[in-house]
Structure 1
Amino acid sequence: KDFSLWWKVIGSAFFLFLSQVLIYISIGNIPTVIAITIFFIYPIITVLVSWGLFGDRPSMIRIFAMVLIVIGGFLALPSGEGDYQQGILAAVGAGITFSGYVILTQMSAGKLHPIPFSLVNFAGIFVFSALGLMMPLPTEWSVNINMNPSVNVWSGLIVSGIILGILTLSSYVLNSFAIRFAGAARASIIGTSGPALTALFALLVIGEVLLLKQILGMLLVIIGVAAMSFERMFAARQKTS
């Protein structure tokens, strides 16, 4: 039995759990698209950690892409009245913890089939969530549900929670399949459409509109992440050839 492999799997589940908690906190405090755009700083953290752990020194293209992502992240920051600090910090924390999930996944996913790997990840998230609910939480983090008997919120919460769980599980299973069969680079290229698709759905579903500079910031982040993904894909092709 490879216990180090299982520790990596459990560690990836823990980082994914933290990332999910932080991104939901962020979405609750700042517009959804901005939270997702800031969250996409995670490739920068992944590159720096890979450099430190594996000696994978970033190329000039990666450095240029990281600069684009940083500039785009600053342009996407919310403006106007309101206390956005908690939402911004939570989005940054979500990106950092998700990079830990990506690193540990790269170290262990190739040795396990995508479906059991994803199931173990989500079982770990379930355990960490249960433990988190048992712990004393700050007032602003505690569960606050409208208990007015004339307003039934439980049915909506249960249905939306089930739908969210199914969609989330499906997305991570499909992403694991994509990494396994198409390669991490191609999978991440497709994944760069995340902020744009989020902006589209946020506009259609909740009427969330972005400022021009925030749209520009989102586009810069997408271009930066896509450039890093293309660079990895071409580098992998050169190694095989």
Structure 2
Amino acid sequence: MAIILVGSALTIPQSSATYSSHTIAIGIFASFGAGIVYAFYCIIAQKCLEKFHPVPFTWISFASTLLLSGVSLLLWPAKSGQLDWTPLWIGSIFSGLVSFIGHTLNNVGIRMVGASTASIIGSSSPALTALVAWITIHKTLNVIQSVGIGVVTLGIALLSAEGFVKSLKIRD
């Protein structure tokens, strides 16, 4: 797990911008909070997916997110301006479909391998994002990011090998 987390940290792009210590502290607390909420989500999902199929569970999760987003817009309304709504709708629908597929696959993974293993693999997201950016938009990766992708890949391979060895011991 530590290998994957270190590799994920290495894939984060370096920024030349300077930030105040207040901004950095907010970012650190937000990331810890997101990690804790995601851990609870995975644990709750593992319990729920023992009885539910991943697709309806994901629909319920998306409906809850939509409801909470709608409530947040009522509490903090956005400033209306002249926006080109057609590309926003197309992008939103595409993003929603891709997110739904990703969440469904994540929930299938939680059902198959458990919450802890699925969350470890899910933490490889920064490395996969950097790799997809490199492939699709030809974003240049620096040496540290390339090493990070390699470290994450090694960590997932070791995790997979560990699961394979455990499955062999169970059969014996």
TM-score of the aligned structures, taking structure 1 as reference length: 0.53
Runs of 4+ deviating beyond 4 Å: 86-93, 142-145, 187-197, 204-207
Out of 93, 113, 116, the position equivalent to 1:184 is: 113
Out of 75, 78, 84, the position equivalent to 2:10 is: 75
Cα distance change, pair 220–126 in 1 and its aligned pair in 2 (3 A)? same
Cα distance change, pair 69–121 in 1 and its aligned pair in 2 (3 A)? same
In structure 2, the partner of 1:135 is 75
Out of 153, 158, 165, the position equivalent to 1:227 is: 158
Out of 42, 50, 55, the position equivalent to 1:110 is: 50
Cα distance change, pair 237–133 in 1 and its aligned pair in 2 (3 A)? farther
Kindly report which structure 2 residues correspond to 1:10-159, keeping only aligned pairs within 5 A, or say none: 65-66=1-2, 68-83=3-18, 85=24, 90-91=30-31, 93-136=33-76, 143=78, 147-148=81-82, 153-159=84-90
How far has the Cα of 1:108 moved from its partner?
Answer: 1.8
Choose between structure 1 and 2 for higher RCO, CA contacts under 8 A separated by at least 6 residues: 2
- The alignment of Structure 1 onto Structure 2 pairs a total of residues equal to 164
Contact 2:8 / 2:123 at 8 angstroms: preserved in 1?
no
How far has the Cα of 1:205 moved from its partner?
Answer: 4.3
Out of 100, 105, 109, the position equivalent to 1:174 is: 105
Aligned equivalents of 2:167, 2:43: Cα separation in 1: 18
Out of 206, 218, 232, the position equivalent to 2:149 is: 218
How far has the Cα of 1:165 moved from its partner?
Answer: 0.7
Quick one: which amino acid aligns to residue 169 of structure 1? F
Aligned equivalents of 1:80, 1:120: Cα separation in 2: 38
How far has the Cα of 1:177 moved from its partner?
Answer: 3.7
Cα distance change, pair 144–128 in 1 and its aligned pair in 2 (3 A)? same
1:81 counterpart SS class: coil
CA RMSD of aligned residues (A): 3.4
Percent of aligned positions that are identical: 32
Cα distance change, pair 113–77 in 1 and its aligned pair in 2 (3 A)? closer
In structure 2, the partner of 1:161 is 92
Aligned equivalents of 2:109, 2:40: Cα separation in 1: 19
TM-score of the aligned structures, taking structure 2 as reference length: 0.70
